[in-house]
Amino acid sequence: MEAYLRRSSVVLLLIVSFIATLVMPAPSPAYGDKVKLNLYYESLCPYCRNFILNDLPKIYDNGLIEIVDLKLSPYGNAKLLDNGTIVSWKRECMLNTVEACAINAYPAMTEHLRFISCVERFADQGKHHDKWKTCFQKLKIGPEDVTNCIKSGLGYALELQYADEIGALQPPHRYVPWVTVDGQPLYEDYENFTIYVCNAYKGPLVPQACRGSSLSTSTAPDSSAVCYKENYSSAKTNSKPL
């Protein structure tokens, strides 16, 4: 009788396990370690804006997002003075801080990238001065975390962190957009970041984006399609905190 009960228990366990395999979702593919893709940029650089709006969305094509760890750094060519003032062109410091606060408020990459893209679209239309706040309504997200970040001085503190990050780059950045893959700069060839990401990826599963015909090269690198460091002596500044 005891042996019969043991066999019955084993059979019941096998049946439960089988049913579980039918109703439980299959595990996601193990892509392995992701490739670090970093974008150092500033909000009013037209080439940064073009990259964010037209090139960066490629990370969602053919599974590339599965192997990419994207990080945005909205500071760019701004300059930190000895008195703690951050100097940049006109309203760029303000928008850099807005986007830094968005990254902090919406830590999921897809969420803050959607917001930043919305802000950059208005900048592309020359409407960033008074229209960027409408992105909250457009994306149906609450504005409180971002606006409180700006008003409290947290945004300024975040910008100081981004200043440290871009200042520690080796080799030092010379312009923006400054795109790195696993820490290595792509220089003027940043639009072809997909190829560099795929070459750096060492995981067991290769997404379609990294296979044969899916890899395409855009036009030859254009050394003029960047915003170089400038002298900000005549620029408007943002004092601390913003």
Half-sphere exposure of 203 (CA within 13 A, CB side): 18
Q: What is the C-alpha separation between 70 and 91, in angstroms, rounded? A: 26
Give the structural domain span for 114: 35-238
State yes or no: pLDDT of 12 exceeds 70: no
Residue 106 lies in a domain: yes
Residue 25, in any domain of the structure: no
Determine contact, residues 112/141, Cβ cutoff 8 Å.
Answer: no
Residue type, 84: G
Cβ-based neighbour number of residue 216 at 10 Å: 9
The one-letter amino acid at 219? T
In this structure, what CATH number is given to the domain that contains residue 153? 3.40.30.10
Contact 202, 182 (CB under 8 A): no
Is the full-model pTM beyond 0.95? no
Domains in the chain, number: 1
Q: Which one is predicted more confidently, 110 or 224? A: 110
Helix, strand and coil in the chain, % to nearest 5: 50, 10, 35
Evaluate whether residue 2 is within a structural domain.
Answer: no
Report the C-alpha gap between 231 and 106 in whole angstroms.
Answer: 33
> Please, are residues 193 and 179 in contact by the beta-carbon 8 Å criterion?
yes
Contact 36, 202 (CB under 8 A): no
* Coil, helix or strand at residue 176: strand
Residue 11 lies in a domain: no
Q: pLDDT tens for residues 139-163?
A: 999 999 999 999 999 999 999 999 9
- Give tens-digit pLDDT for 164-208: 999 999 999 999 999 999 999 999 999 999 999 999 999 999 999
pLDDT tens column, 111-130: 999 999 999 999 888 766 77
At 39 the three-state DSSP class reads strand
- The per-residue pLDDT for 115 is 97
Q: Which residues, at least 6 apart from 171, have a Cβ–Cβ distance to it below 8 Å?
A: 185
pLDDT at 7 over 70: no
Q: Is the pLDDT of residue 49 over 80?
A: yes
Q: What is the Cα gyration radius of the chain? A: 23
- Structure tokens, 180: 């790195």
In a domain, 12, yes or no: no
Residue 17 in domain: no
- Token pair for 32: 């392995």
Distance CA 49, CA 116 (A): 10
| Best CA proximity match to 180, nearest among 189, 202, 139, 26 | 189
Q: Is the pLDDT of residue 93 over 50?
A: yes
- Confirm whether 135 is domain-assigned: yes
Is position 207 within any domain? yes
